[in-house]
Chain A
Amino acid sequence: MPLDIYAEEIISQYEHPHNKGKLTKYDVEFHDENPICGDDITIYVKIEKEKIAQVSFEGQGCAISQAGASMLTDFVKGMSISDAKKIDYEKVKEILGLDPGPARMHCAVLSAKALAGALESYMKAHK
């Protein structure tokens, strides 16, 4: 794997992640982990008018998973639930600005999977 997955932006967001820590007020939280690496993440979402008003995360993991969570949470703020649920691996690559390759794909998508889980459980509870 070439070193360019460790772009400046990835390292900087890994060191200083955005939206890290538990929200004081949230509507739904969701925990997910990656059994291969042992990365884990908890996503907190505050919903207003079917949109993501606030979102944050807690957890531990490699630079790709942590910077990925930081960038994803920035990206989805203000997004509608239905749009946010559509975020797939292609979109994650766009948000990261790189292709982490097959060995690190699971690191990159962890936060998106957790977010989808959170939104799913919010919708179930608010049907």
Chain B
Amino acid sequence: MNHSSRETDMKSGIDPTMIKKDFPILKKKMNGKPLIYLDSAATSQKPKEVIDAITEYYENYNANIHRGIYKIAETATEKYIESKRKLARFIGAGKFEEIIYVRNTTEAINLVALTWGMSNIKKGDRILISEMEHHSNIVPWQMLAKRKGAVLDYIKMDNNMEGLSEQSLREQIEKGPKMLAITHVSNVLGSINDVKRITKLAKKEGTTVLIDGAQSAPHMPVDVRAIGCDFFALSGHKMLGPTGIGALYGKTELLESMEPLFGGGDMIKSVAFDSYTPNDLPWKFEAGTSNIEGGIALGTAVDYLERIGMENIRGHEKELTAYALERLAKINGLKVFGYGRADIEKRGGVVSFSLDKIHPHDVSAVFDSFGIAIRAGHHCAMPLVRGIFKVGALSRMSFYLYNDKSDIDSAIDAIGSVKKVFKVK
């Protein structure tokens, strides 16, 4: 890293060279080259303390939670609940009872579709999503609409294919959908939706609102009560936590009104031969033994993020994204999708691009040979990539707190090598 870029990296209050040291994998090599990880939108890397939290649980207090009247079971239960308290505070929820642990964002959204949706959506009702959604915020609603004979509407992309069309947004919300499920940040474009304003519009129509926070919770301050949404879904593995743990936030009144999804142990207060009484929140939605290690380690991940500061992380990613956009703009035959540098406030740290005459898989493969991990494909947003952009696949790099400008410089160099391999000017 040269001196000037080091200085700019420091401006955001983040020193990625220090942060990189906390992530064991970033000291490793890929294909003989130091790993440069630019695929955090798919999953983030984990700091040592998160990895250690898992080992520590198994080595020191492995026990099932709830009901155990002995010390290590108490410790496990406390730590598990404590992690929910941390996450609740982290996203601005009122209390830990509003945090349901699930496997990931996908499961959180499906939980809402299968419980709230099954009881509240009727034939002919409208469900509103947008054209920029991830498959996990499309398919559960397609399934629900099919089951119930409901109508699934889409908020259209704007003409520049950068964000949502304001006109379409207003028209669709005015139709009074029962449910609006929308992403906070697009995993393809990085576009940030003003979910607070959108929720306010929807609330005027009495619409229930779910925010897909898979790409926002890891990267910027989130306050679900300020947004005013009814549900908020996130994945632990994208925010420094382990895989297999994610969360659904729901407003207490709503969660209380919903039927449990799975039946079994822990989700009940009492069971008789002919009936059961569901447990209190949040346990009502967590049947069976939970992912205890995952919950606890997610709490550790939240500690880490809060220590660095979400404002700082957002600031750092904004700088990196602006820098990447500036450098990419100078490359012949390269097209970046989404908002430009002037609209950096509306853009998260995700940059998708295409290179003339070269397939994204070949781009990834050449990057790989230099130890650089980027993603190629439809990014689980086929309606957007195929239907709107009309391309088979895109290359995508995405940034996080451990990336720095030299990572982007390496990526730019790799693009030069891709062109050389393919003899493209």
B422 to A11, Cβ gap below 8 A? yes
Given A3-B366, A37-B393, A38-B393, residue A62 in contact with residue B422 (CB < 8 A): no
Bitwise, A22-62 to B at CB < 8 A (1) or not (0) is 00000000000000111110000000000000000000111
Q: Does A63 contact B (CB under 8 A)?
A: yes
CA distance A104 to B376 in the complex (A): 12
Bitwise, B414-425 to A at CB < 8 A (1) or not (0) is 000000011100
CA distance A6 to B365 in the complex (A): 10
Task: Please pick, from B369, B392, B423, the residue contacting A38 in the complex, using a CB distance under 8 A.
Answer: B392
| CB-defined contacts of B386 to chain A, threshold 8 Å | 38
CA distance A17 to B104 in the complex (A): 43
Q: Does B228 contact A (CB under 8 A)?
A: no
CB distance from A16 to the nearest CB of B (A): 11
CA distance A104 to B422 in the complex (A): 17
| CB-defined contacts of B362 to chain A, threshold 8 Å | 6, 62-64
Given A3-B366, A40-B392, residue A63 in contact with residue B377 (CB < 8 A): no
B392 to A104, Cβ gap below 8 A? no
Q: Does A71 contact B (CB under 8 A)?
A: no
A3 to B392, Cβ gap below 8 A? no
CB distance from B43 to the nearest CB of A (A): 17
B421 to A3, Cβ gap below 8 A? yes
Q: Does A88 contact B (CB under 8 A)?
A: no
Bitwise, B261-273 to A at CB < 8 A (1) or not (0) is 0000000000000
**Chain B: number of interface residues, binned into ranges:** 10 to 19
Q: Does B95 contact A (CB under 8 A)?
A: no
Nearest-CB residue, chain A, relative to B378: A38
| CB-defined contacts of B393 to chain A, threshold 8 Å | 37-38
Q: Give the residue among A3, A36, A61 with the most B Cβ atoms within 10 A.
A: A3
Query: What is the total of A-B residue contacts with beta carbons within 8 Å?
Result: 57
CA distance A64 to B364 in the complex (A): 13
CB distance from B330 to the nearest CB of A (A): 24
| CB-defined contacts of A104 to chain B, threshold 8 Å | 361, 365
Q: Does A125 contact B (CB under 8 A)?
A: no
Bitwise, A58-75 to B at CB < 8 A (1) or not (0) is 001111101000000000
A37 to B361, Cβ gap below 8 A? yes
CA distance A5 to B358 in the complex (A): 15
A61 to B366, Cβ gap below 8 A? no
- Residues from 350 to 400 in B contacting A, C-beta threshold 8 Å: 358-362, 365-366, 368-369, 376-378, 386, 392-393
| CB-defined contacts of B369 to chain A, threshold 8 Å | 1-3
Task: Please pick, from B360, B368, B421, the residue contacting A1 in the complex, using a CB distance under 8 A.
Answer: B368
| CB-defined contacts of B377 to chain A, threshold 8 Å | 36-38
Given A1-B369, A37-B376, residue A11 in contact with residue B359 (CB < 8 A): no
A11 to B423, Cβ gap below 8 A? yes
CA distance A38 to B362 in the complex (A): 13
A61 to B392, Cβ gap below 8 A? yes
15 other contacts beyond A60-B359, A61-B359, A63-B358, with CB at 8 A cut-off? A1-B365, A2-B369, A3-B421, A6-B365, A6-B421, A15-B423, A37-B376, A37-B377, A37-B393, A38-B393, A60-B392, A61-B361, A62-B359, A63-B422, A104-B365
Q: Which residues of B contact A (CB under 8 A)?
A: 31, 358-362, 365-366, 368-369, 376-378, 386, 392-393, 421-423
Question: Top 5 A-B pairs ranked by shortest CB distance?
Answer: A38-B392, A62-B359, A62-B361, A3-B369, A63-B362
Supply 30 A–B pairs (Cβ within 8 Å), ascending by A: A2-B369, A3-B369, A5-B365, A6-B365, A6-B366, A6-B421, A6-B422, A11-B423, A14-B422, A15-B422, A36-B377, A37-B359, A37-B376, A37-B377, A37-B393, A38-B377, A38-B378, A38-B392, A39-B359, A39-B392, A61-B361, A61-B392, A62-B359, A62-B360, A62-B362, A62-B365, A66-B359, A103-B365, A104-B361, A104-B365
